[in-house]
């Protein structure tokens, strides 16, 4: 039986199944990337809810695994060489899971790097920009008298949606076949037009391919399951 005692996070969130991959997360756009990927891949795992509303990601136990204090993070008891591996950053975790299992990633080296570039596109652009729209449109930023920040992030988010719209011309999925590129972006687009309530201000319904892509993605059973993992307390 794998020994996770070297990971302080396992003391606060004890493993019932220490032989399985341990997921420490919350159902946010970044968090559900990993739960969706795990559901799609079919790799056995155990999910632990890290309640970010209670600042649990800033506890010493969580920080011991991710010093940046952000979900998600994982501990794989069966990491490289059969040794336990702790890992944070959702994009890095997606790459690790895809390469560990040979799923959700093209085998062709050129297509593999092309897939990785779209994951980085999400990490570097879509996540930060959509998140700022959420802050300035739905949360505390909406009370700011100066609307230029919202306008800036709204316009950039519209541009990024346009990049996706162009990419999806003639494709059902970002890489043609479903991959971690889609997994990384689905939750963010869903949040932008749903939870953030920004559908109208980014003119989402003026697009054709992105809404259809989102609908296809959300119809996948593994995506439906992953969006609700871990359960909110």
- Helix axis angle for 109-121 and 90-101, nearest 10°, is 160
Q: What is the pTM of this model?
A: 0.96
Mean pLDDT of 14-34: 97
Q: Cβ of 124: how many Cβ atoms within 10 Å?
A: 11
Mean pLDDT of 190-218: 98
3-state SS of the chain? Answer: CCCCCCCCHHHHCCCCCCCCEEEEECCCCCHHHHHHHHHHHCCCEEEEECCHHHCHHHCHHHHCCCCCCCCCEEEECCCHHHCCEEEECHHHHHHHHHHHHCCCCCCCHHHHHHHHHHHHHHHHHHHHHHHHHHHHHCCHHHHCCCCHHHHHHHHHHHHHHHHHHHHCCCCCCCECECCHHHHHHHHHHHHHHCCCCCCCCCCHHHCCHHHHHHHHHHCCHHHHHHCCCCCCC
pLDDT at 69 over 90: yes
Across the chain, mean pLDDT equals: 97
> What is the C-alpha radius of gyration for the chain, rounded to an integer number of angstroms?
18
% of residues, the chain, pLDDT over 90: 97
85 burial type by CB count under 10 A (0-12 exposed, 13-18 middle, 19+ buried): middle
pLDDT at 230 over 90: yes
Quote the CATH superfamily of domain 9-103: Glutaredoxin (3.40.30.10)
Give pLDDT, residue 2.
79
pLDDT at 186 over 80: yes
Fold of 109-220: Glutathione S-transferase Yfyf (Class Pi); Chain A, domain 2 (1.20.1050)
- pLDDT band at residue 232, thresholds of 50, 70 and 90? confident
Cα–Cα nearest to 23, from 9, 11, 40:
9
The two three-digit tokens of residue 113, written as one number: 């790097």
Give pLDDT, residue 3.
83
pLDDT at 1 over 80: no
> For residue range 107-116, what is the model confidence (pLDDT) as tens digits?
999 999 999 9
Report how far residue 56's alpha carbon sits from residue 127's, in angstroms, rounded to the nearest whole number.
Answer: 22
Domain boundaries, the chain: 9-103, 109-220
% of residues, the chain, pLDDT over 70: 100
- pLDDT band at residue 5, thresholds of 50, 70 and 90? confident
Which long-range contacts link 81-86 to residues 24+ away (Cβ below 8 Å)? 84/2, 84/3, 84/4, 84/6, 84/7, 86/7, 86/9
> For residue range 130-159, what is the model confidence (pLDDT) as tens digits?
999 999 999 999 999 999 999 999 999 999
Report how far residue 97's alpha carbon sits from residue 39's, in angstroms, rounded to the nearest whole number.
Answer: 11
């Amino acid at each position: 039986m794998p020994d996770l005692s070297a990971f302080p996070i396992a003391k606060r969130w004890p493993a019932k199944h220490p032989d399985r991959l341990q997921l420490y997360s919350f159902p946010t756009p970044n968090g559900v990337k990993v739960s969706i990927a795990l559901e799609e891949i079919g790799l056995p795992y155990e999910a632990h809810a890290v309640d970010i509303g209670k600042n649990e990601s800033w506890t010493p136990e969580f920080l011991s695994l991710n010093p940046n204090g952000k979900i998600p993070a994982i501990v794989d008891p069966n990491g490289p060489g059969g040794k336990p591996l702790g890992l944070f950053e959702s994009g890095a975790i997606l790459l690790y899971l895809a390469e560990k299992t040979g799923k959700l990633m093209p085998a062709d080296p050129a297509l593999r790097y092309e897939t990785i570039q779209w994951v980085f596109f999400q990490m570097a652009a879509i996540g930060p920009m959509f998140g700022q729209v959420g802050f300035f449109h739905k949360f505390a930023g909406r009370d700011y008298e100066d609307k230029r920040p919202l306008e800036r992030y709204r316009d950039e988010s519209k541009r990024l949606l346009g990049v996706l719209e162009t990419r999806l011309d003639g494709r059902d999925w970002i890489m043609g076949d479903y991959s971690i590129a889609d997994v990384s972006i689905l939750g963010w687009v869903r949040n932008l037009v749903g939870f953030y309530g920004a559908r109208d201000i980014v003119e989402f319904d003026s697009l054709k391919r992105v809404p259809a892509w989102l609908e296809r993605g959300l119809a996948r059973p593994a995506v439906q399951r992953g969006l609700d993992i871990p359960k909110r307390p």
